[in-house]
Amino acid sequence: MWNYSQKMMDHFLNPRNAGEIPDADAVGQVGSIVCGDSLKLTLKIDRATGRITDAKFLTFGCGSAIASASALTEMIKGKTLDEASKITDEDIARYLDGLPPEKMHCSVMGADALRAAIAAYRGEPPPESQLDEKDIVCHCFGITRQKIEKVVREHGLTTVEQVTQYTKAGGGCGKCKGKIADIIATVRAGSAAPARPKRMTNIERMRRIEEAIAREIRPALQAEGGDVELIDVEGPRVTVGLRGRCAECKAADVTLSKVVEARLRELVDPEIVVVEEN
């Protein structure tokens, strides 16, 4: 089960600015109900100052999609279009005190809707307007090669699982995972310097570690009569306690390094160092 911040739950249970501005100056619509998620963002803009005076949203999706859209409308009201255009999906996630990695596509959808609305107001073609069927990589969710390339480049993504978290691509039938892996390799090979993921906050790192332990590590240890408990997280240093048979095992050091540390480095942060509680 995912862990959600109190702020995220507040925006889900008490969404701000839900609805639609009937005489909107700008409309941005992304996603599709057929593909699982959609968001319509409507803006009222003061033409003299270029400031967003009102913003409302309609969304079809999960609680994280509702919270992300609600947060976005609060973030952009009062800003100029130039200021609003600089808001990223990471900014939306931070505003909500973090999102589970599997829900980052919700904040991405919000940022995409904002860019589409601003483009519409300025008379510019909407993002991806020139794309056709051959550009779609994930047909389950209608995700294009260009979008996958963009998130890989912007966020320094290195695995198919990360791309799925940010875009949902590969989260359906899975037939496109090979193509996604090829796109990742191509983007990274074409970079003058490999992109590095943005620095995680300690709260986000702890949340990801907790999820990785619950989903991937604890079940494997429990199957052998053991267990692991997260004690503390200080930057990349993770303190855990081995329980059950793992605590009594002579190969406890191997379990820490080859199972716990190795999986956390793979799933969360390659710089993680796991130590056992004193």
Residues designated catalytic: 35, 106
To the nearest 10 degrees (0 to 180), the angle between helices 145-155 and 160-167 is: 110
Q: Which CA distances in Å does 234 have to 61, 143, 271, 273?
A: 34, 37, 12, 10
Whats the size of the chain, residue-wise?
A: 278
Question: Distance (Å, rounded) from C-alpha 99 to C-alpha 97?
Answer: 7
Q: End-to-end CA distance of the chain, in Å?
A: 29
Report the candidate in 153, 159, 165, 156 with the shortest Cα–Cα distance to residue 101: 165
CB atoms within 10 A of CB 98: 23
- Is residue 93 a contact partner of residue 78, using CB atoms and an 8 Å limit? no
Q: The tokens 């199957």 sit on which residue? A: 223
